[in-house]
Structure 1
């Protein structure tokens, strides 16, 4: 099968959707399909062979974060050329309702289109107000995929349709068995040591880092060997300035990490903490931590509950409650038997998220979309946007 995949966000900056697209592409290639990915990226960027760069992206505030997208006449022309050259059996676009390459690809497509929706904004005034303008985009989509029940809810509440729920995948083999970083995770003697990890933008409010910081500071006063490992974008001075001077030496900041180092980072801690406060439709980092064999502690967001099998594959704490988080962290660090039980359950759960398993489900949607269009090609003038 010849498959064209469109990523709306820049490959020059790592992100959940970008990682999803790359992992899906590699899983599909592993299943024997021909795959080409179109994404915003500089022409001289180091990219996998299957990725076609569509030029530099511009930042756009979106869903409490900043998305880097490409749009306009030049992007439109590049999308059209890529579609013509690819002669795809199916086109798979991600987040087609943002001003992005994905929207341009839908409007330029001449065959079956599958769209994956990642966002879980269940009460969006923007979507409601723009529903008429977006109707033309939705009408050109043959089949829809939602990465979570919350993302699917957007389809039902705002977009007059349903979607097949297929979760984000994780390449388990990339995380299982990798070596931890030198000197980590260290000792975890009762009441003394232990290591905790966090990955993400510590300056972004919805990632909940202040909640983890407060819990760590109080717990570190009780446990002289406790350490915190932080990875993600940001200024080191800004991070260390958020901690009391006497505890800063127990905080290690890796900065932005590669995918390989992310796996090592997750293997380097006794507990991975996801203190996010909202805006999450799935929780990719949770499945990655589970794949690494690390015990997960997460806020009780609905999306996180679903990934962690309602708390059987990881420990949940009340959203925003630093005191409850501190208590749970201390109890888990002192209870290796409970950590092992959570990890064992996590191994079973994450097997269902392994990319080869997920990719086969996506291929089933492709086949249904192709069958629904019966091989027809839309014979029409290209849509002009600019």
Structure 2
């Protein structure tokens, strides 16, 4: 099949949607398909991608936050068998629908999360207006809907679209890279790197991996920082991996809350080194609020044998088996988060058991190769009924 993936973000910009698109495209190409990714030329520069797939970084005359206007979606997608739209994508969803109509090419869609309405009143009005329009004009016209979990599908802004015909909804979760995330990753270089900041092999480490920019304020960084005021374990070190325009703000807040040297913000970490950070951690957390819909960092951490804590919200709770691979916590509840962190730090035997259970679970459910085969079958079913 000749497949076009259309996404608003893509590596080197590190965020969940782009990373999912990357592995979807790569593994489909390794199955023998001709796969092209259409994305924006932001951030600018030259980047190398695996030779199995083609990446076209299209000119972007304007952007609305993380939504680039890419007119080339229409002109450059003729001749494909199927489109795969990564949603939400203001401008891109509408252009994909237009291209689908012009070139008589069906499209499937993965809805990664709802739009973030927090912020200015103008932003809220705009998104509240756009969402019902998108349900009708663009998102509502897909041939199949790939959802990261049925839990999220039943509790998101597109639920009314899915409810028209649940037979068109296919659960295809996000995955993890088994080459980079697995048990037994060497961490010695991290102890050397952070020795001056108090890291030893006896130091409990609480880890969050997240984009630290204005588009990802829902990651719960403030909640995690606040939880340290309630921790019984005063030796624990907070490590927040990631970068973005809000990183200095979070660092300053950690200082205001009295964490001092107990908070480390390493910045952006190369993908090939990320597994070492998960392995180093005593516990990995994702205290997100909606519109978080899944939590790839949780399955990556579990693949490394690390117990996890995730918010009890649609989608995220589906990748953490409460009391077995980790714990659920109420969103925006730093005291409850601290209690669960302390439970894991005070019982290393239980933490190790949870880590092992999580490792076994994610390798069974979330390997990208098996996910690509589900996508392939979904595309084939769409084309067979065309």
- Please show how residues 87-98 of structure 1 align to structure 2 within 5 Å: 87-95=79-87, 98=89
**Structure 2 length-normalised TM:** 0.81
Cα distance in 1 for residues equivalent to 2:269 and 2:171: 30
- Offset at 1:23? 0.9
Change (3 A) 1:302 1:224: same
Q: Which residue number corresponds to residue 180 of structure 2? A: 174
Cα distance in 2 for residues equivalent to 1:249 and 1:132: 48
Q: Which residue number corresponds to residue 113 of structure 2? A: 119
- Offset at 1:102? 4.0
- Please show how residues 159-308 of structure 1 align to structure 2 within 5 Å: 160-162=164-166, 163-176=169-182, 177-180=184-187, 181-183=189-191, 186-188=200-202, 193-201=203-211, 205-219=217-231, 223=233, 225-234=235-244, 237-244=248-255, 247-308=259-320
Q: Which residue number corresponds to residue 80 of structure 1? A: 74
Q: Is the contact made by 2:305 and 2:358 (CA closer than 8 Å) also made in structure 1?
A: yes
Q: Is the contact made by 2:303 and 2:362 (CA closer than 8 Å) also made in structure 1?
A: yes
Q: Which residue number corresponds to residue 104 of structure 1? A: 95
Cα distance in 1 for residues equivalent to 2:159 and 2:342: 41
Between the two proteins, the alignment pairs up a number of residues equal to 354
Cα distance in 1 for residues equivalent to 2:337 and 2:60: 41
Q: Which residue number corresponds to residue 383 of structure 2? A: 370
Q: Which residue number corresponds to residue 356 of structure 1? A: 369
Q: Which residue number corresponds to residue 341 of structure 2? A: 329
Q: Is the contact made by 1:197 and 1:228 (CA closer than 8 Å) also made in structure 2?
A: yes
Cα distance in 1 for residues equivalent to 2:385 and 2:128: 27
Q: Which residue number corresponds to residue 14 of structure 1? A: 14
- Please show how residues 121-160 of structure 1 align to structure 2 within 5 Å: 131=132, 135-138=136-139, 140-153=141-154, 154-158=157-161, 160=164
Cα distance in 2 for residues equivalent to 1:232 and 1:251: 13
Cα distance in 1 for residues equivalent to 2:93 and 2:261: 45
Cα distance in 1 for residues equivalent to 2:96 and 2:255: 50
- Offset at 1:16? 0.8
Q: Which residue number corresponds to residue 27 of structure 1? A: 27
- Please give the secondary structure, in 2, of the residue aligned with 1:3: strand
- Please give the secondary structure, in 1, of the residue aligned with 2:84: strand
**Structure 1 length-normalised TM:** 0.81
Residue 44 (structure 2) pairs with residue 52 (structure 1):
no
- Offset at 1:182? 1.9
Change (3 A) 1:155 1:240: closer
Cα distance in 2 for residues equivalent to 1:255 and 1:166: 31
- Offset at 1:230? 1.3
> Gaps (5+ residues) in structure 1?
61-65, 374-386
Q: Which residue number corresponds to residue 121 of structure 2? A: none
Cα distance in 2 for residues equivalent to 1:225 and 1:161: 52
- Please give the secondary structure, in 2, of the residue aligned with 1:356: helix
Q: Is the contact made by 1:122 and 1:150 (CA closer than 8 Å) also made in structure 2?
A: no
Residue 325 (structure 2) pairs with residue 313 (structure 1):
yes
- Please give the secondary structure, in 2, of the residue aligned with 1:340: helix
- Offset at 1:106? 2.7
Q: Which residue number corresponds to residue 384 of structure 1? A: none
- Please give the secondary structure, in 2, of the residue aligned with 1:241: helix
